[in-house]
């Protein structure tokens, strides 16, 4: 009986850890995506500015 409870507990902890890892990876992917978008926009903006000065 005790063994089964331990197994369930381990499974629960693993599931929690997995969910947390998934959330963290999604969060970081989102951050990277936003950062990429912003940097692309900045380069486009500077490109436009250089065009105007010419």
The whole-number pLDDT of residue 1 equals 56
The whole-number pLDDT of residue 22 equals 92
Q: What is the pLDDT of residues 4-18, one digit of tens each?
A: 777 788 888 899 999
Residue 1 exposure: Cα atoms within 13 Å on the Cβ side: 0
For the chain, the structural domain boundaries read: 23-54
Judge residue 11's burial from the number of C-beta atoms within 10 Å of its C-beta, 0-12 exposed, 13-18 middle, 19 or more buried: exposed
- Could you tell me the pTM of the whole model? 0.46
The whole-number pLDDT of residue 30 equals 92
Residue 14 exposure: Cα atoms within 13 Å on the Cβ side: 6
Q: What is the pLDDT of residues 20-53, one digit of tens each?
A: 999 999 999 999 999 998 888 877 767 677 777 6
């Amino acid at each position: 009986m005790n063994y089964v409870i331990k197994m369930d507990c381990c499974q629960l902890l693993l599931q929690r850890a997995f969910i947390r890892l998934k959330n963290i990876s999604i969060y970081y992917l989102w951050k990277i995506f936003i950062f990429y978008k912003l940097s692309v926009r900045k380069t486009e903006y500077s490109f436009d500015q250089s065009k105007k000065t010419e």
